[in-house]
A and B are shown apart, each in its own frame.
Chain A
Amino acid sequence: MAIPISYSLRNLWARKLTTALTAGGMALVVFVFATVLMLEQGLRQTLVSTGAYDNALVIRRAAGTEVQSAVDRTQAAVLESRPEVALGPDGVPLVSKEVVVLISLGKKGSGKPSNVVIRGVGDAGLTLRPQVKIVEGRTFRPGSSEIIVGRSIEERFSGVALGERLRFGMREWTIVGLFDGGRSGFDSEIWGDADQMIQAFRRSMFSSVLVRLNDASAFDSFTAALTDDQRLTLEAKRETVFYAEQSETLARFIRILGLTLSIIFSIGAVIGAMITMYASVANRTAEIGTLRALGFRRGSILLAFLFESLLLGVIGGAIGVAGASTMQLITISTVNWQSFAELAFSFDLTPGIVFAAMTFAVGMGFLGGVLPAAQASRMAIVDALRAA
């Protein structure tokens, strides 16, 4: 028979300060742990939601990123005529031939320069990306020196407000609209007309071609056709896969760094919990003897102390997760190592992360409590009673 749970609960309550400090230590570790997972999740979320499943992005084989890729006009024309490509209501293929260039802009406040993606898009560019919506002003007119700016760019960089003029590619460009990319990577881009960009940057080739497939299952025959056609040194990826791969290096770095830190911190928290629990056992030696004399078994003593320590973990975990959830209000930006451009993203708390963080916290409680609890259960009754 188990010792009543209220006994463990009230013992934690009776030592409020010690409990608060120990749980607080654990909460900090859980906070770091959860925040890192949220950061990684936010980054993946941002880049994955950048793509649509039935869109295929075509770049030069082995290019890896759009910036490094080149697709010439002939190749683009071949792609456009593939039967797997969906047609718009006007019978025109849903294809956006795009050019991606990096420019440097000064950040708000510090004025420090950072890389920004300039994307020249084709006529279907906006149609292919339904998550992108103009929130202020209007879209650019094809054939003009007009550009539209992503929400995150407008927030973080100076000189990019509606109506302002931006100088790059040996031209002045007028900002005629602001767009919301639906928390995707497009929020961190500036868009204009692809043909104008190619001229301005003295390019002869596009960077990538984005096509809408007839249906998502046409992807396999589309890639097969690309491989078979000797004229095309290109490869196609589902847009979702392409952007997920873009996040891989940075996401993995955040994960490894964060988890390493969490593990190192957690050793401290576990030792803290262990000291608390050893002190608790030492203070209650006579109580342990009494409980055993009354007929409670070693196992019950072990469970009561272990439960107390697990509870410390749960309290710490709950505080840590609650703290981490406030991080969702914050948006941060960093350079994506694959595209070399600034990317803004936020912390994203998922049920999976809450579960992982709470498991981590309970795990710390278990590790901190198991040795003291075992010590408590091993005491000889007569020796324990003598401590009264």
Chain B
Amino acid sequence: MSHYDFCRQNVGRPVKIVTHDGIVHRGIIRRVNPSKVFIDPLDARRGAGGYGYGFFGYGRGLGLGIALGAIATIAFLPFFFW
């Protein structure tokens, strides 16, 4: 399955994406287009104050865009609630 198809089928799910440059992204798939997937990041920096609106051009409803061509692996992120 292509990364595009995987992302399309798993909108709303928490995933771990590793890009070819070795960077790990964790987040919830928000939307996907033929060139990018947008995730709401789950990131330790998020709550620390240096992260939020504006970071990575990140804003409400937009998410963090990752080029599909840059993705090495994508997998479901283990998740649960208390």
- A pairs with B: no
